[in-house]
Amino acid sequence: MTRPVRVRFAPSPTGNLHIGGARTAIYNWAFARRHGGSFVLRIEDTDPERSTTENTAQIVRSLRWLGLDWDEGPEIGGNYGPYLQSQRFATYNEALERLKRNGSVYPCFCTPDELNAKREAAQAANLSNTGYDRSCRDLPADEVAKRISDGESHTWRLKVPLDHGPVTFDDLVFGTTSFPIEQMDDFIILRSDGSPTYNFVVCIDDVSMDISHVIRGDDHLSNTPKQILVYEALGAPAPHFAHLSMILGPDGKRLSKRHGATSVEAYQQQGFLPEALLNYLALLGWSLDGETTVFSSDTLKENFGFDRISRNPAVFDETKLTWMNSAYIKAMGASFFVDAWLPYLQEVGFTRNGDTLLDASGALLSGTPATVEEVDADVITNRCWYEAIYPLVAERAKKLDEVNAMTAFLFSGDKVFYDEKSVEKCLRKPGIDKVLTRCLDELANEDMLWQHAELEEALRSLPEQLDLKPKVVFQAVRVAVCGNMVSPPLFESLELLGRKRTIARIKAARNLLL
């Protein structure tokens, strides 16, 4: 019987979830889902100085925002918990005791100063292996017992079996990978302060959580032979390994803060859609069929496999990500758009009437298309009003925060924030006061439906009547109402703004000119 697929994402909460970690999480998740297996989230918080609960909460939030779900882990528990390493010390101690009993570990009494001196001497002598010289490996048992009972400070090291032969494994991405045993150090598994090291605890956890595949960044490739030796010492089967190539910045160097935003949260704040980010990250090292770039998370989890993972490092290109985001905005439809946009809108404090955008359940009220009375009264709890914004911005906004900028004029009441350049260019010109006056005359007709087609109809003949180019007339109205030359299509904008505001703003702009 083949082993059920159980994979884990094991972030250290020493910072935000970054792009590389998110990709690792996505691949683990997709692999588990493809094979009907379990995806475990384990928080590797054994470094108390650098791990914080806020970072853990943030990582969890970012993973959820990306649309990932896990079967076991923080917040949901599971049969293999606890899922925070800081709560698993009893398991580590027990495993250490087992290794002491079977003779696979030994205490090392060398002080840090002694170790440094040995390393420097080995380097000076140009030795190929500058690791620990194993001087404590074969101390007599009674000496060891005495030094320990005397309270002498010591670490515990793994006794690398010298007759082992190369440590070899079949990496699912890199193929057969081998490390000569001569290069393997008797590495420390328990520090002198009693804290276990990563290479030790990761194995205990992967064994006791029954992990079948370890999928992680190739920065851990050199840890893998050490971990294989720990599995062997524990008498436990090693999982399969799949190491993922690094993600590089556009300059070919490993992606880091130098390249700009690298955390998932930063991309969320900028108005990237989780579906677009997930899609883009999935492509950093994996391909569906070599050509398709836009696909859903369902497609990813139905098709993900190691056969299409590249060994070459992937380059993170924000321009491509932005393009993908705009493709998702174009395709998402009004309803999804409103749900995704609302948090951004609220974050900048844009509301039409204080905090009544939402009903008691926290959703926008739904309804029939907003009436002009509703719009004029500023009581826009009507979902349709927000959905009507979508076609105006869908083709132009690359990110959701840009939608806020494009639609700010709809949320500023009677006030208009004038862009000085636009005012100079479009309003402060001879004849424009007349344009605005005529426009007000036309809009004063209360029988006219306040809808974009009717508005267009009403204002269409103004340029001819005034003997001005349409662009001059309509840009003037646009700047009067929206404050700048780059608002969404004019008549739709007037419809959404409402009769009362539109008229008040045109009057105010005319006064500005008088």
Q: Could you say which DSSP state residue 114 is in?
A: H
Residue 220 Cβ vs ligand GLU, minimum distance, rounded to whole Å:
5
Q: What is the rounded distance in angstroms from the CA atom of residue 119 to the CA atom of residue 187? A: 14
Query: Stretches 4-12, 117-125, 362-370, 476-484: which one binds ligand GLU (CB under 6 A)?
Result: 4-12
Q: Across the strands, what pairs with 6?
A: 38
Helix axes 274-282, 318-347, angle to 10 degrees: 160
Q: Return the bridge partners of 9, or none.
A: 41
Angle at alpha carbon of residue 56, lines to 53 and 62, rounded to 5°: 140
Please state the closest distance from residue 39 (CB atom) to ligand GLU, in A.
13
Select 205 or 495, whichever has its Cβ closest to ligand GLU.
205
Q: State which of residues 7, 17, 108, 202 lies at the interface with ligand GLU (CB under 6 A).
A: 202
Report in angstroms how near the CB of residue 241 gets to ligand GLU at its nearest: 10
Considering only CA atoms, which of 21, 33, 35 is closest in space to residue 66? 21
Distance CA 33, CA 69 (A): 10
Binding test (CB under 6 A) with ligand GLU, winner from 6, 12, 99, 104 = 12
Residue 383 is a binding residue for ligand GLU (CB under 6 A): no
Sign, CA dihedral 128-132-135-137, equals negative
- Burial class, 140, CB count within 10 angstroms (exposed 0-12 / middle 13-18 / buried 19+): exposed
CB closer to ligand GLU, 216 vs 383? 216
Residue span binding ligand GLU (CB under 6 A) among the ranges 10-18, 293-301, 370-378, 479-487: 10-18
50 or 415, CB closer to ligand GLU? 50
CB of 238 to ligand GLU, least distance (A): 13
Rounded CA-CA distance 311/316 in Å is 15
CA geometry: angle 174, 175, 180, nearest 5 deg: 95
Task: List residues bridging with 196 in a β-sheet.
Answer: 190
494 binds ligand GLU (CB under 6 A): no
Q: Is 45 in the site for ligand GLU (CB under 6 A)?
A: no
Least separation, in Å, of the C-beta of 409 and ligand GLU? 45
- Contact, 43 vs 70, CB < 8 A? no
Residue closer to ligand GLU by CB (options 220, 301) is: 220
Q: What character string, x for contact with ligand GLU (CB under 6 A) and - otherwise, covers 77-116?
A: ----------------------------------------
Does 11 engage in binding with ligand GLU (CB under 6 A)?
yes
CA dist 273 and 326 (Å) reads 9
Q: Which residue has the tokens 């925002």?
A: 65
Least separation in angstroms between residue 22's CB and ligand GLU is 12
Please give the biggest Cα pair distance in the chain: 109
Q: How far is CA 41 from the centre of its chain?
A: 16
Q: Which is nearer to ligand GLU, 220 or 507 (CB)?
A: 220
Report the distance separating Cα 438 and Cα 465, nearest Å.
10
Segment near ligand GLU (CB under 6 A), from 5-13, 228-236, 338-346, 421-429? 5-13
Choose one: 8-16, 236-244, 461-469, 498-506; the region binding ligand GLU (CB under 6 A).
8-16
| Closest CB to ligand GLU among residues 44, 374 | 44
Which residue matches tokens 């999982």? Answer: 239
Using CB under 6 A as the binding rule, whether residue 10 contacts ligand GLU is answered as yes
One of 7, 32, 40, 44 touching ligand GLU (CB under 6 A): 44
**β-strand pairing of 155-158 with 105-108:** antiparallel
User: Among residues 20 and 107, whose Cβ is nearest to ligand GLU?
Assistant: 20
* Binding span for ligand GLU by CB under 6 A among 7-15, 130-138, 293-301, 320-328: 7-15
Q: 400-407 vs 318-347: helix axis angle to the nearest 10?
A: 50
- Residue pair 281/143 in contact (Cβ under 8 Å)? The answer is no
Could you tell me how many residues of this chain bind ligand GLU (CB under 6 A)?
Answer: 7
CA nearest neighbour of 18 among 196, 284, 205: 284
- Least Å distance, CB 210 to ligand GLU, is 15
Q: How far is the CB of 204 from ligand GLU (least distance, A)?
A: 12
* Under 8 Å between Cβ of 202 and 236: no
Residues 166 and 104: their CA atoms lie apart, in Å, by 18
Phi-psi region of 234 (alpha: psi -120 to 50; beta: other; left: phi over 0): alpha
Of 476, 392, 393, the C-alpha closest to 434 is: 476
Single out the segment in contact with ligand GLU by CB under 6 A; choices: 6-14, 166-174, 301-309, 336-344.
Answer: 6-14
- Closest distance between ligand GLU and the C-beta of residue 62, in Å? 14
Question: Alpha-carbon distance 496 to 486, whole Å?
Answer: 16
Residues 215-244 that bind ligand GLU (CB under 6 A): 216, 220
Of 16 and 325, which has the nearer Cβ to ligand GLU? Answer: 16
Nearer to ligand GLU, 197 or 404 (CB): 197
- Nearest distance in Å: CB 334, ligand GLU: 40
* Angle (CA) 84 174 213, round 5°: 30
Name the residues that contact ligand GLU, by CB under 6 A.
10-12, 44, 202, 216, 220
